[in-house]
Structures are given as structure tokens and as C-alpha cells.
């Protein structure tokens, strides 16, 4: 998980989008609220230590104690919301994160977390409202939530909804290579090869080492126009050379390129 503040610590599985987790109490811009009591701070710090040790159940107890002692404790609301999210307790996560945005309507981290919770809970209208608010605070964080929505909608078989979400992610952050790539995958799966090629090229422009994008670009180019796809296969071979993960694909593509060149040579000789 990412977090507000000075230091960061990941708690959630990579299977779901990460939430921000506050690790140190910091001064935030925006509305003022009652400062936490000393007992609340002690509970909060104990929650941090428990979270660092992977003792999430204990961390919840400490954070809940902190917000009981000081209901306006923004950082504690964000952290306990993140842990509830990790555990799949989305209603409790949303409760704390809604409290966080009510306390500070300028907290991009609280809005991002809330948006991700709504996405995970398939409450896409609520997620969209949170993202729209977030976009005015931090467009790149808004892009991350749009991308998570795209992933969620694709899993549900909603290709149109996923496409729109990825397009919004790119609009919020035009440097988001993964959203270009994911958009390209949807277009490729829908046999929209020209559109897919354009999306993969944009992904590569943002990340010239994006091997997956080079590979899918070559496949799409092959599908669209076999006579002119060899340069895209060659670009893949160049960037994937020496990668153990891509060794078998490199060998496969080398064979494909040979077949295409043989075919073109025969075609040209006719």
C-alpha cells in the first residue's frame, strides 16, 4: 500500500489495488479539527507497530481505540479503513474512509482509498463520484482508481465499461502506460486491431521497455496486415532479447518471422 506522510508500508495483497496507509502523523492542508489526545496517539502508534509486524487484527483494535478516543483522528480512520479493505470488510472500510473525507475534503489519499473500496465492492457510481472529486486534487491518483475500475469491469465481462474506465485513466494521466496497454488488450480481444496498435504504441512511448506491449503490438499488427508486421516482431525480439521470462516466446516469434519472410519471398517471386 502507498500512504500519506513520510514513510510507506505495504499491507494489502497484490491481488487487489493498494490503498494508502498513513505511517507518520503529518500536518495536512485543509480544514482544522480537534487534535488527537495523547492516549489516542499512543493507540495509533501501537497500531502502526502492529501493522508493521503484520498483526493486522491487533492493528485494528489499536486504530479503533484511537478513533474512539479521538473521533476526528484522520490518519487512524485512513489506516483502519485500509486494513478493513485488505480483509475484504468493505462496509467497515467505507465507514472509516467516508469519515476521513468528511474530516478533510482536500485529502486525496482518503478519496483514493474510498474510490478503491467502492470499486472492489462494485459500487461503480459511488466510485465515480469519489474519483471525480479526487481528479481535482490529484489526477494521477484519480487515474489509478479509474484503472482499477477498468480491471474490475473487465473481470465482469463489461468490455465497454472497462474501455471507458481506461480511457478516463488515460485522460487523468496521459503518461499511464499500463492503461494504454490494458485498453489495447480490450481492443485486440474485440478484433479492433488498428485501435489496439495505436494504444500499444502509446504504451511503448511512455515505457520503451514494456515487453508485453511490444509482443501484443506485433500480434495485432500481424492480424491486421501480415505483409507489414515483421518490423513490429523485430522490435519485440530486440527488447525481449536476453529475458529468461520471454525466452520461449522469443524462439516462437523467430520462427513466425522466418515463416512470414519465406511467404513474402515466395509471394514476391510469383
Q: Is the pLDDT of residue 205 over 70?
A: yes
CA separation for the pair 107, 252 (Å, rounded):
49
Res 73: pLDDT: 95
Res 124: pLDDT: 98
Res 85: pLDDT: 94
Mean pLDDT across the stretch 245-267? Answer: 95
DSSP 8-state class, residue 209: T
CA separation for the pair 115, 125 (Å, rounded):
10
- Domain boundaries along the sequence of the chain: 199-270
CA separation for the pair 248, 67 (Å, rounded):
54
pLDDT confidence band for 9 (50 / 70 / 90): very low
Res 19: pLDDT: 66
CA separation for the pair 164, 154 (Å, rounded):
11
Mean pLDDT across the stretch 232-245? Answer: 97
Mean pLDDT across the stretch 227-234? Answer: 97
DSSP 8-state class, residue 90: H
% of residues, the chain, pLDDT over 70: 87
Cell numbers for 200, please give them. 500499444
Q: Is the pLDDT of residue 6 over 90?
A: no
Q: Cα dihedral sign for 129, 132, 133, 134?
A: positive
Res 269: pLDDT: 58
Q: Is the pLDDT of residue 3 over 70?
A: no
Q: Which of 3.30.930, 3.40.50, 1.25.40, 3.90.1720 is the CATH number of 199-270?
A: 1.25.40
CA separation for the pair 132, 121 (Å, rounded):
18
Q: Where are the alpha helices (DSSP H) in 138-210?
A: 139-155, 159-172, 177-189, 193-206
Res 22: pLDDT: 55
CA separation for the pair 156, 70 (Å, rounded):
40
Helices 74-86/56-69 angle, 10° precision: 150
- For the chain, what is the mean pLDDT? 89
% of residues, the chain, pLDDT over 90: 85
Res 34: pLDDT: 78
Amino acid at each position: 500500500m502507498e500512504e500519506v506522510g513520510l514513510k510507506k508500508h505495504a499491507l494489502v495483497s497484490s491481488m487487489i489495488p493498494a490503498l494508502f496507509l498513513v505511517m507518520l502523523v503529518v500536518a495536512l492542508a485543509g480544514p482544522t479539527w480537534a487534535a488527537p489526545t495523547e492516549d489516542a496517539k499512543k493507540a495509533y502508534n501501537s497500531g502502526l507497530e502492529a501493522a508493521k509486524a503484520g498483526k493486522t487484527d491487533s492493528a485494528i483494535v489499536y486504530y479503533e481505540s484511537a478513533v474512539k478516543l479521538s473521533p476526528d483522528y484522520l490518519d487512524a480512520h485512513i489506516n483502519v479503513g485500509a486494513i478493513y479493505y485488505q480483509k475484504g470488510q468493505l462496509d467497515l472500510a467505507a465507514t472509516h474512509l467516508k469519515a476521513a473525507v468528511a474530516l478533510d475534503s482536500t485529502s486525496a489519499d482518503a478519496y483514493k482509498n474510498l474510490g478503491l473500496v467502492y470499486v472492489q465492492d462494485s459500487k461503480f457510481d459511488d466510485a465515480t463520484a469519489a474519483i471525480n472529486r479526487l481528479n481535482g486534487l490529484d489526477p494521477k491518483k484519480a487515474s489509478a482508481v479509474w484503472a482499477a475500475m477498468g480491471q474490475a469491469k473487465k473481470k465482469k465481462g463489461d468490455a465497454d465499461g472497462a474501455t471507458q474506465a481506461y480511457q478516463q485513466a488515460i485522460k487523468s494521466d496521459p503518461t499511464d502506460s499500463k492503461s494504454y496497454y490494458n485498453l489495447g488488450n480490450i481492443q485486440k480481444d474485440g478484433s479492433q486491431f488498428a485501435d489496439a496498435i495505436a494504444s500499444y504504441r502509446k504504451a511503448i512511448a511512455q515505457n520503451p521497455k514494456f515487453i508485453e506491449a511490444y509482443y501484443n503490438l506485433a500480434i495485432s499488427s500481424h492480424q491486421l496486415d501480415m505483409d507489414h508486421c515483421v518490423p513490429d516482431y523485430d522490435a519485440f525480439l530486440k527488447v525481449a532479447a536476453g529475458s529468461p521470462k520471454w525466452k520461449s516466446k522469443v524462439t516462437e516469434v523467430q520462427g513466425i518471422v522466418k515463416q512470414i519472410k519465406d511467404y513474402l519471398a515466395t509471394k514476391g517471386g510469383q
